[in-house]
Structures are given as C-alpha cells and as structure tokens.
Structure 1
Amino acid sequence: MMKTVKRFWFGVTATAALATGMGHAAEMGAIETPIKLAVNEWTGQHVTTRIAGEMLKAAGYKVEYVTAGYMNMYQALGNGEIDAAMEIWSSNVSDEYGKQLAAGKVTEIGDLGLEAKEGIAYPAHVAEICPGLPAVEALRDCAGQFATAETLPAGRLVDYPADWGTPGAERITGFDLPFKAVPAGSEGALITELRASTEKKSPLLITFWQPHWAMSAYDIKFVDLPVGEEACFEDPAWGSNPNATHDCGFAPTRVFKATWSGLAGKWPAAAEILANLQLSVEEQQPMMGAVDVDGKSVEETVDAWMQANPDKWKPVVDAAIQ
C-alpha cells in the first residue's frame, strides 16, 4: 500500500463480539438497502474488501463497492455515504479519521488480523554477501558491498518513492550507517530492484513492507531493529545513538476495520460479520500475487479462495444469522 511519514497512536477499540470471540445470531436489518464498502488504491485492500462483500452477500445482504480515495474517505464514512472500510493502516491515516472517531461518527470494529510490518529489508541471498545479517550492526562492515557509482563510498539503500516519505533515510541517520538512501521512482521500481537482485544474486538493501506478494516471491527478510516507539521518534537520548532520533524500527502498525457508526443499528448481523472477519498475511499475500503477478481478476481470485476455504469464513456468517 501507499506509505507516508505520518504516525497516529490510536488505541485499540473492539466490539464486544470480537472481544468475546465469535458473534451471535443478530437481526438482519435493512436487507433491501445495499451496504457500501470502500475500495481503496491497493490490491490487498481490494482482496480484503471483496471477501467482506461476498460474506455479506452469502448472509443475504446487498453490497455496493464504492471507489474511495484512502486518505480522503473518512468524512464520507462518518456521514454514512460509505458504510465500512475494511483495511485501515494506523501508520498512514489522515487527521480527518481521528476527528470522525472523536465525534462518534465512525466506529472501530477491531483489527483485521494482518501482521503488518515495515522496515529495512533484503532478499535472503544477501545474508551470504553480508555475514551477520539480520543484525543492523552487520551493515557497518559490509556497506561497501552495496555501493554504486551513485553512492560511493557509501552503500546504497533503495528507499520508498519520495512522495511516500523517507523512512529509510531516517534510519540511516538514526543508526549512523555508512549508506546513502536513494528514493525509488515507484512501487514498480522497488519490485524491479528485487527481481534483478534475486536473478543476479547481487547485493540489495531496500525499504519494504508486508503484506506484499513480493515478500514470498523474493524471500525477503527484515533487518533486526529495536521496536519503534514514540519516544524514539522525538528524543535523541532514546536508543543507541544519542545524537539522532529514529534509531529504532518503524512504528508498530495496526491494520483495522471501521464503519459508519450507524451500521450496527441498521444492519445488526452485518456488523457482526464485519467485526469477526479475520485475514492473515499468509492468506492475503498469495491472493495479491495471483492478481498482480498472474494477472487474475480480484473477483476470480477471491471466489477461488472462498470456495477452497469455507472453514475460514462460513462459520462467521452462520454465527451471525442463525
């Protein structure tokens, strides 16, 4: 998905159904009115949203998929123009979300289940080129292996595209590593770098994230960094480098779900279903690969997954309506 340097430290707000496990049978509510699900700009979110929609349809609801800009959709969610957003990243969410949440117009309905992670990463074969990885200190001794004409004598870190922020560069400064961060031109450029490094068995250090299909395709590993916490980003005294902030990993990211606050009253069983929907990285990443690499449509990919895995979603639907 897209990244920015904004960080928000929202607490976890879960429904009672999620807190106690599987939901219980609830009233269906306004079944003739479509439930509008937000469709944002990245493949994983398309997969998540389509699964949610098909579960609602299996319960007997009508569903409408609404294309919505991820950073700009929260007022529409608060107004009920969109009924649910199924994959919100706490590391990358606009101020408007917090305003709508505080006003009681938006309700969080629990985490999605994705183990989201961002960090400094490398294809697995690079550990042979730079012994000591995944320890961050190993990069001091083998920086020259990553050097290019553009960065000599420093090693090269391929950072996120410039409009996603510069989190890789912040870690280079934070840990005082002999590297230079070079922004990638796009997400596609990051993938091109990974493909070339894997094919040639060449050194590569990159800023990356999961879930992403490339994590599996190119056997990507993360450099071990101390757990990121708010003080690390604000106080130079925190961490191993007393002269800089960001001498830690990325801020832990929650991936959670939220609805228009009127959804549970209008469609009680749908609220149960959406609250109890869970999706793991191991389930989502192959579906992302089927779409982005194999060229399959989101619809056929999700349909195949649901047919092959009724045990993952059908009990959630049945518990809400029976």
Structure 2
Amino acid sequence: MKSTNVLKGVGIGLALLLAATAQGRTAEPGAKDEPIKLAMLEWTGAHVSTHIAGQLLEKLGYKVEYVTAGNFPQFSGLADGSLSASVEIWLNNVGDIYPKVLAEKKIEDIGKLDLKTQEGWIYPKFMEKVCPGLPDWTALNKPECIQALSTPETAPNGRFLDYPADWGSRAATILADNNMQYTAVPAGSEGALVAELEASEAAKSPLVMMFWGPHYALAKNEVGWITMPPCKEQTNEHCITPPDVDKIVWSGFGAKWPAAYAFLKAFKMDATEQQKMMLAVDKEGKDLDAVVKEWVDKNEAVWKPWVDAAKG
C-alpha cells in the first residue's frame, strides 16, 4: 500500500513537471534577420489576406516582403524557397504543378484559410418577384421567367450572363444538361460582369449570371444564390461547388521560422470582412496597407489567438 502511494506521488510530480515544461515552451522565432517572402497574387482578396498576415508577422518581429507572383508560377517559387508562403490558394485553380510539388514534399499545405467561398448562379434579389420560386433553379423554367430574361440576342431563349469566354463555360454545359431554355452569353471581362450586376440593380432589369465570392460587388449588392440543378456527371464541367482555400508554405518554412509557421497555421480569413476591405480598395480607391492596418487596429480580439499560437 505504501509503495503504491509513493508511485502515485512520483507520477503526479512527473505530470506537474511536464505541464510546467509545456507551459514554458514557446515557438522559436528562427531567422528573424531574413525576410519572409509572401506571394502576392492577382486578385484583391488575396492582397487583403496576404497583407493582414504580413502586418501581423511584422508585429511578431519578422521582416516581410511582398512578391508579385502568378497563380501557377508561384508553386515553382514555393518549391525552391524563393517564395516563403502563399496564404490564399484556391484549390480549384492550381494547375498541374501544385500536386506534383506537393507529392515531392517541396511545399507543405498547412491547412484551411477558412474563407467561405461561393460560386454559382446569382440574381439581384428583386428577381424573386419576376421569377417566383427562386432561389430554386426550377423557377427559371417558368415561361414568364424565360420571357423576362429574353433579349433580341437570345429570343426565344432567356439570356444567361456567363463568365468571359476565356474562363471556360460550365454554365452553358449545365443549361444544356438540364434542357433549360437559356443561351449563355459571355461577359467581356470581370468588370463587365460587375457593371451588369450594378446596372440591373439600379434599373431593376432582369438578370441571372455566373459569379463567385468573396467579391467586393457582394458587399454592396444584395443577391440570391440559385440552388443549382443536379449534376449530370461528377466532373468540373458538369458541377459547380465552392472551392476550398488553403495556405501553402515552402517545405523548409517551419524549420526556418517556427513561430511564424505556428502563426500561419492559426491564421484565418472571414469572407464578409474581406469583401468589405476589397470594396474599400477596389471601389473607394483607398490604400491597401491603410485599409488592412485599420482592420488590424480594430480587431485585436480576432487576431490575438493567432499571434498567441506563435508564442506558444
């Protein structure tokens, strides 16, 4: 009985020692004299996410460089270490190089950004009076809805505003798969898509279109998302699903900058907040760094857990 109590005492003492050691352990900052090079991709949402990460890394004492990078070429830079990290990778658009360098363990996926993405068919909310039954896709098949969306260009079909032609047209495939009386008309550009959405809202002119989020246009225009028709085949051409967005680092990142690695693993991005900042930059002409700094100054409660994760 006595020996059992002694063993219990030893076990408790060891547990307390291990707990104290764990509490005292912090992630090492690593090579703070060498800059962390963050990939700056083509779209404003990625600029926002990247600059938030960068400003917070600077609060942790790191040097940060923002390096302009193409969506596909960035993976070569991440693989050879000339880029350190990319914090907003949309996994529906990574080309052939991403799975190759991931399999070769030249890059590391450090988890979800938790950015709530959307992609599919949208309409200005007033369309629910024009096509009763929306957001269910079958409402689009009603004769009064087809007629309202018909134009001289598409009659007797309704007009569906699609992505620009060089982006590919999954919408046209889905319309054909489901025998819907619509013609997909490509927009000239992203700007043209947004301009039509804004014009439709202002004039209350009928519109159904392909779109995605987060996007600054969704911060100022109230839209509905159509419940999509069933997929004919489980392929990219026949199905539209919201893409995952992950954070990717060079394979040597964790060893070189341990605390920064812990921070980036914890780092998240809220889509609604991102859209507000995109609107400020793209439509209101505000400086990106200033917009991000204002968010950081006002949202310590949001980002403090990420910074705490870096400190152990």
Q: Which TM-score applies when normalising by structure 1?
A: 0.86
Residue equivalent to 1:238: none
- Map 1:33-112; keep pairs closer than 5 Å: 33-112=34-113
Mind listing any 5+ residue stretches in structure 2 that lack a counterpart? Answer: 1-24
Unpaired runs of 5+ residues, structure 1, are 1-23, 235-244
Aligned partner of 2:285 in structure 1 is 295
Matched letter for residue 251 of structure 2: S
Matched, 1:182 2:148: no
User: Is the CA contact (8 Å cut-off) linking 2:174 and 2:231 kept in structure 1?
Assistant: no
Aligned-pair CA distance for 1:227 = 7.4
Q: Is the 8 A contact 1:291 1:297 kept in 2?
A: yes
Output the aligned Cα RMSD.
Answer: 1.6
- How far 1:267 moved relative to its partner? 0.3
Contact in 1 for aligned 2:178/2:229 (Cα 8 Å) = no
Counterpart Cα distance in 2 of 1:269 and 1:228: 44
AA aligned opposite 1:291: V
Shift of 1:130: 0.7
Larger radius of gyration: 2
Correspondent of 2:300 among 302, 306, 310: 310
In the alignment, residue 30 of structure 1 is paired with which amino acid?
Answer: A
Distance in 2 between residues matched to 1:258 and 1:284, nearest whole Å = 19
User: Are residue 30 (structure 1) and residue 20 (structure 2) matched?
Assistant: no
What letter matches 2:73 in structure 1? N
In structure 2, the partner of 1:284 is 274
Give the secondary-structure state (helix, strand or coil) at the position aligned to 2:235. helix
Q: Which amino acid aligns with 2:30?
A: G
Are the aligned partners of 2:141 and 2:181 in contact in 1 as well (CA < 8 Å)? yes
Q: Hey, which of these two has a bigger chunk of helix by percent?
A: 2
1:226, CA displacement in angstroms? 5.5
Q: Which residue identity lines up with residue 151 of structure 1 in the other structure?
A: T
Distance in 2, matches of 1:227 and 1:276, equals 36
Amino acid at match of 1:184: A
With 310-319 and 48-57 compared, the bigger mean Cα shift is at 310-319
Is 2:153 the partner of 1:150? yes
The question of whether the paired residues in 2 share the 8 Å contact of 1:83 and 1:260 is answered with yes
Give the conservation status (yes or no) of the 8 Å contact 1:72–1:94.
Answer: no
Name the aligned partner's letter for residue 243 of structure 2. T
Matched residue count: 286
CA distance in 1, matches of 2:258, 2:213: 33
Matched-pair contact (CA < 8 Å) for 1:148–1:155: yes
Residue pair 2:216, 2:278 contacting (<8 A) in 1 also: yes
Structure 2 residue identity aligned to 1:52: A
Q: Structure 1: which amino acid aligns with 2:166?
A: D
